[in-house]
Amino acid sequence: MPSLSGQPNISLTVYATASDFLFATYDILMQKEEQSNIILPFALNQQRREQQAARGQNAPPPTNNLWICVWTTRMASRGSAPKPTLDFVFAINDNSFGGYPLFIWSNYPASELMPSFLDRRVQLAAMQLYQSTPAERVFSVFGLAPVVSSFRSIWSHITGKQAELVPFYAAKFTLCTKFTLQPSIGVPAGDLIRPAAAHDVEQVARLCQEFAEDSVFFPLNSKESMAQAQQLIRDKQLWVYETRDAHNRPCVASIVASSRSSARVAAITKVYTPPAFRGRKYALRLVQWVAQQLLYCDGKESVVLYVSHENPAEKVYHRVGFAGLCGTPRPVVVEDWLEIGFKDTIRGHW
């Protein structure tokens, strides 16, 4: 666990550009690339936009991005220079739908986060966040369960913003590798798994809207769901399971998106099958195919995702080969994450 010996010095650094943030933290985040997936891909995308803008390529970077890093420096032994350790990253990132939640990355597993270590660091970061960002912008916070629980009480005390009674999201973080991926099952004759294409956009937009309605807390209207579908298709981040409807017309029966990616890790960020097509293993086949594509064709070492507790989809992901699900032993990386919302804020979307 993180040591408290040697009179540690806690410090903060604040970054308004992804380039500066990644210059300071990239090597550290890459050492825990799976856990960093909630932070690193957004920063990498933003860095590319900053670089395009610097080259005059008409891609002005969004202005509402902020990274707060919490560091601990301990006295070094035998006169060697003290070296700071990155403990936490608090990230506020913009998007086309009002912004993402506050994401918190921890350099330590939940089992090592004792209150004596955690609370003081979260308090300092929360104070800095309050000074840097309107409280209304922090509509929710997502991270390891003990970190979010600590932030909830501290943030409410600082800002007066009360937490929503029901968590927005309570989930397991899990991963699949070439070593855990299970053999694929065949696709029935006439069905097809493929990348989404421009002609799918209306069907995909409808499924994106239904998926958002299922989440309850982050609905999309028809215009927003169309914009999301167009973006996912344009960026080649969406795959579809195509089958035939009752009139023998081709239709999209299931979708899978992967919109967060770094050098060796990709996340599955959306899986949705409409009620009329459930129970036919469409999602199982599609998730399995996408995971295989990411691991073997795109060269990723891990595919990660979050699955909410008590979600029947956990059985699907377990059959695909995601670790630590359905009561199986959990690797260290498979942990409980939590999203808590705050009242009287301006809600974004993710």
pLDDT at 140: 99
Minimum mean pLDDT range among 52-66, 286-300, 321-335: 52-66
Nearest 5°: the CA angle 295, 296, 302 is: 15
* DSSP conformation letters of 212-261: HHHHSSS---HHHHHHHHHHHHHTT-EEEEEEE-TTS-EEEEEEEE--EE
Q: What is the spatial distance between Cα 301 and Cα 262, in angstroms, rounded to a whole number?
A: 10
pLDDT at 82: 82
pLDDT tens-place string over residues 276-314: 999 999 999 999 999 999 999 999 999 999 999 999 999
What's the rounded mean pLDDT across residues 77-93? 88
157 and 197 part of one domain: no
233 and 164 part of one domain: no
Structure tokens at 331: 């690797």
16 and 146 part of one domain: yes
Report if residue 327 sits inside a domain. Answer: no
49 and 156 part of one domain: yes
Minimum mean pLDDT range among 76-90, 175-189, 212-226, 314-328: 76-90
CB atoms under 10 Å from CB of 43, counted, come to 25
Residue 5, pLDDT > 60, answer: no
pLDDT tens-place string over residues 242-257: 999 888 899 999 999 9
* Domain CATH for 61: 3.40.630
105 and 199 part of one domain: no
pLDDT at 1: 53
204 and 166 part of one domain: no
pLDDT tens-place string over residues 155-211: 999 999 999 999 999 999 999 999 999 999 999 999 999 999 999 999 999 999 999
Q: Structurally, how many domains does the chain consist of?
A: 2
Predicted confidence band of residue 60 (pLDDT cuts 50, 70, 90) = low
pLDDT at 4: 47
| Closest C-alpha to 202, from 243, 234, 224, 230 | 230
167 and 205 part of one domain: no
Report if residue 346 sits inside a domain. Answer: no
Q: Per the confidence metrics, is the pTM higher than 0.75?
A: yes
199 and 157 part of one domain: no
Give me the domain span that covers residue 91: 9-172+337-341
Residue 29, pLDDT > 90, answer: yes
Nearest 5°: the CA angle 220, 224, 228 is: 105
Report if residue 162 sits inside a domain. Answer: yes
Report if residue 181 sits inside a domain. Answer: no
Report if residue 146 sits inside a domain. Answer: yes
Q: Cβ distance 142 to 167 under 8 Å?
A: no
Minimum mean pLDDT range among 23-37, 54-68, 129-143, 259-273: 54-68
Residue 61, pLDDT > 60, answer: no
Residue 333, pLDDT > 90, answer: yes
Q: What is the spatial distance between Cα 254 and Cα 278, in angstroms, rounded to a whole number?
A: 9
Report if residue 328 sits inside a domain. Answer: no
114 and 240 part of one domain: no
Percent of the chain, pLDDT > 70?
Answer: 95
Report if residue 183 sits inside a domain. Answer: no
pLDDT at 58: 73
271 and 146 part of one domain: no
* Domain CATH for 220: 3.40.630.30
What's the rounded mean pLDDT across residues 203-228? 96
22 and 164 part of one domain: yes
Report if residue 1 sits inside a domain. Answer: no
pLDDT at 144: 99
CB atoms under 10 Å from CB of 345, counted, come to 17
204 and 113 part of one domain: no
